[in-house]
Structure 1
Amino acid sequence: MSQSEQTTLIESHTVDQVPPGERHGRSRDLFTLWFSTNIAPLPVVTGAMVVQVFHLDLFSGLLAIVLGHLLGGLVIALASAQGPQLGIPQMVQSRGQFGRYGALLIVFFAALIYLGFFISNIVLAGETIHGIVPFLPLPLAILLGAAGATAIGVVGYRFIHSLNRIGTWVMGGALLAGFIAIFCGSLPGDFFSRGAFNLSGWVATLCLGIIWQISFSPYVSDYSRYLPASVGILRPFLATYAGACLGTILSFAFGAVAVLAVPEGTDAMAAVKQATGALGPLLMVLFLLNIISHNALNLYGAVLSIVTSVQTFASDWTPSVRLRVALSALVLIAACGMALSASANFIAHFIGLILALLVVLVPWVSINLVDFYLVKRGRYDIASIFRADGGIYGRFNPPAIIAYVAGILIQLPFANTSIYVGPYANYLGGADLSWLAGLLVTCPLYYCLATRSRSPREALAPLGLAD
């Protein structure tokens, strides 16, 4: 690590490649990042939906939660392992798959996800602050929560990792204590019998776990790109997989258990506070701190997406630290405006949007993983990725774009979301299996198109770190 990097508080890199001399950290940092990040109110509230919305019983709900996250976790882990090999953000890497301008659509969807998560979390942060300090008006509480996340996101990569190393022990211990408090208390008579297995609810829960993990994939390698390339593929894969799966499974399960431990119909976070007794107020404070820390990742990703979009049309431009701070402030202002005007059921609507975005994320994930691991096998020409004409990758890459559009279209007949319901969505009791159709079509289609059209220049592209 260079001296300048050691003495600079605010991260200086944005969409540019991290030079080998500035690489630092250990693979296990990815475990603490993704474990701590996912022990937060939003996954707890989402886990409560297994009981409150999908009406599953505890055992079938937990099975769907575990399987969904274990399957989706493979995607986030495979994406994370790409970061140390290339040293660039995930959305910038997409230029090597879709072409310089072809990647813009993916960047747009990624920015939409970041902003949605950011708004949802500042609404939750505001509600939590207001619950802890009732005399503080909710709008002011929302602004305070958003400002805290922005401050962390502005400082950047190293500070985010440091906070999550601490958060792993604090939040992991707090969640364990919460489980103990619930099961040591007096459970209602219908705790194990409330709800029942139903196919549509079970598959919806499974899909929710898969898309929860996939939704991180557009920016997961942003937090591994500083690791030395020598860490290889396996170590960052295992660290990310274990952290992301364990953190989300525990949080989803905690939400489901908490709402089962209180009278039916109780709000999820109110259920957590009520079910954990004396520990409840402390959990609320810890959850609040983790919301703010976690939300910094969403702001960080949103700013990188904006920078990537602008830099697409200005290849020689490298944004300064001041500009990154200014962009963070603009995102903060826009998000706070939306959060303050959000409806009471905004989070439920947002979860519906995330499920709908599965349609556009699955084809991108399929192309990203097939391209990196099977077509190019980790060998990208970094110089071409940053050239104005796209270098060997061009402005648009027809095989990727064709496979991407086909992957979206094949899902539409099977989609069952709050935005769109396909004609075949009800064949399995309303279960949404569109993501499976997308995977089965996009992966082989892109592989065939990409391998047939790959030029000799692209096949001989140097390893990313060689540029």
Structure 2
Amino acid sequence: MHNNDNPQAPALELSTIQPISAEERHGRPRDLFTIWFGCNLILLTVITGALAVTVFKLPFFSALAALVLGNLVGGVFMALHSAQGPQLGVPQMVQTRGQFGSFGSLLVVALVVVMYLGFFASNLVLGGQSLHGRFPAVNTNVGILLVGFISLVAASVGYRLIHAYTRVMTYLSGAVLLLAFVWLVFGHGLPADFLERNETSLAGFLGTLSVAALWQLAYAPYVSDYSRYLPEATGSRSAFWSSYWGCCLGSLLPMLLGVMVALSIDGDDVVGGLIEATGGLSALLVAVLSIGIAATNAMNLYCGALSTITVGQTLVPSWSAGAGARILISLILFSGSLALALLGQDDFMVNYTNFILLLLYVLVPWSAINLVDYYLVAHGRYDLPSFFRRDGGLYGRCNWTAVNCYVLGIIVQIPFMSTALYTGPVARAMDGADISWIVGLGVISPVYYLACRLGGRTRALAQTAQGGA
């Protein structure tokens, strides 16, 4: 992407997965706060927070404690990934080649593309259904297309427009969300038994905590994509805290609204309850949060395109994709997600709940390996040219240590899994509580670190750093 007189002005991004040069770097740490705060102020975050009540049957204070703890813990991992961007200047999935090797990383990258498609489709459905719920004249399918089209435009223009879009939504959605809280409490009013509804359970508390932590962890595969243009002098500390508080606060506030709405209504229709509870404000609320969905979806689509290009470049190393390729791939991915949204809208909540639980199991071991390698093994020093070689350069075609640890990371979670399809023996013994992600992180982080030391990877990367890589 070329510089212009105003580095904040939206302009067509020309770069894709290539390293961002010093001349192209721009922006400030506070840009990371607004992108992660603004992109979380959407209806899907409200729905996710409401799961504490609708699925896990928690009372208010227990739900609040679980959501706060889950977001604050999960946010640490999200922000540690974000802090890698200014240092390396490449997308997160390209950097993954440094741990898994050029071909070893393909499985993870492919899974991440599926993740983007799933979140994109979920957001489309929720946007379309919400617009129809508040504005009956707008057909659900028309609403889905409207949200999708705005997302496609923003993703096609690229990095600067997405940052500008979320910067606007930080203030616009933030103001509307604040009004919704005021209206719900002082206008509609909370039910007399608001604090007495439901009872605390270990399974419900851990389930809510896990969902909140996953909400943060789900950003890990692409969070550094939005910090990679920042000047290297930005530093890891500034990037970490700006991303951390932006994402944690941006997630907690709408999740809290979801809990309050769910405890104020009969049944599980949170969006319908939100529309009813906010009365005259509901038209503005639904319109703004639906526009916000398009901003978040633009991020999903943009990073899905970058990850798809990463797969293609791995197979054809001479390919240097530009803006045209990114736009075409965005259009193809958009078409696939649109089909998922139109076909799966009737079973949205069931499909969404199963989807985020599945993500939990495949993202956790990757995050553990990436963070341990970056911070404890390589100390942020990688040979960027090796990322773009078919043979993987210094990192080879496949780092079997990382691949085996990744597979192990999924296997060790199985006894602790708790889903509609399968519940492990430990989870059953804990009344369905799912702590698989804690086990995955706790086991794979030290195992991978020790395997790197014993296998000589730590020494090899240290020598690379001394060589000026």
TM-score range normalised by the length of the shorter chain: over 0.9
AA of the residue aligned to 1:88: V
2:40 counterpart residue number:
38
Cα contact 1:381–1:463 (8 A) shared by 2: no
Cα offsets for 1:366-408 (capped at 9, x unmatched): 0011000000000000011111110110000121112111111
Q: How many residues are paired up?
A: 465
Decide whether the 8 Å contact of 2:33 with 2:243 is kept in 1. yes
Equivalent position of 2:166 in the other structure: 164
Matched, 1:241 2:244: yes
Please show how residues 450-461 of structure 1 align to structure 2 within 5 Å: 450-454=452-456, 457-461=460-464
2:350 aligns with 348
Instruction: Determine the structure 1 residue equivalent to 2:225.
Output: 222
- Provide TM-score, normalisation by structure 1: 0.96
CA distance in 2, matches of 1:133, 1:176: 22
Task: Report the Cα offset of residue 460 of structure 1.
Answer: 2.5
TM-score between both structures, scaled by the size of structure 2: 0.96
Instruction: Report whether the alignment pairs 1:310 with 2:312.
Output: yes
Aligned to 2:439: 437
Report what 2:59 is aligned to.
Answer: 57
Report the AA paired with residue 247 of structure 1.
G
Matched, 1:71 2:76: no
Q: Which residue of 1 aligns with 2:420?
A: 418
Mapped partners of 2:52, 2:215: distance in 1: 14
Matched residues in 2 for 1:442 and 1:379: separation? 22
User: Which moved further from structure 2: 302-311 or 124-133?
Assistant: 124-133
* Contact 1:99–1:390 (CA under 8 A) maintained in structure 2: yes
- Secondary structure of the residue aligned to 1:308 is helix
Structure 1 range deviating more: 268-277 or 2-11: 2-11
Q: Name the structure 2 match of 1:409.
A: 411
Deviation of the 1:457 alpha carbon: 4.7
List alignment gaps of at least 5 residues for structure 1. Answer: none
Tell me which of 10, 13, 17 is aligned to 1:11.
13
Q: Which moved more, 1:228-237 or 1:434-443?
A: 434-443
The whole-number CA distance in structure 1 between the counterparts of 2:321 and 2:432 is 47
Once residues 226 and 30 of structure 1 are traced to their aligned partners in structure 2, the CA distance between those partners, rounded to angstroms, is 11
Residue 195 of structure 1: which of 195, 198, 202 is its match?
A: 198
Q: Which runs of 5+ in 2 are unaligned?
A: none
The match for 1:206 is 209
1:94 to 93, 96, 114: 96
Structure 2 equivalent of residue 363 of structure 1: 365
The answer to whether the 8 Å contact 2:203/2:430 transfers is yes
Determine what percentage of the aligned residue pairs are the same residue.
Answer: 43
Spell out structure 1 runs of 4+ moving beyond 6 A. 4-8
Deviation track 1:129-174 (CA, whole Å, cap 9, x = no partner) reads: 3234322322222112111111111111111111111111111111
Q: For the Cα contact (< 8 Å) 2:133–2:272, is it kept in 1?
A: no
1:20 alignment partner in structure 2:
22
Match of 2:253?
Answer: 250
Residue 276 (str. 1) matches residue 278 (str. 2): yes
1: distance between equivalents of 2:404 and 2:466? 26
Q: Which moved more, 1:215-224 or 1:310-319?
A: 310-319
Letter in 2 for 1:193: E
Aligned pair partner of 1:124 in 121, 126, 132: 126
User: 2:415 aligned with 1:388, yes or no?
Assistant: no
Distance 2:3 2:29 in 1: 22
RMSD, aligned CA: 1.8
**Counterpart AA for 1:46:** T
1:39-61: CA deviation from partner (whole Å, max 9, x where unpaired): 10001011111111111000100
Q: Which residue of 2 aligns with 1:134?
A: 136
What is residue 292 of structure 1 aligned with on the other side? 294
The answer (yes or no) to whether the contact 1:120–1:347 under 8 Å persists in 2 is no
After superposition, give the CA deviation of every residue in 1:191-215 in whole Å (9 maximum; x if it has no partner).
1111110111110000001111101
1:128 partner SS: helix
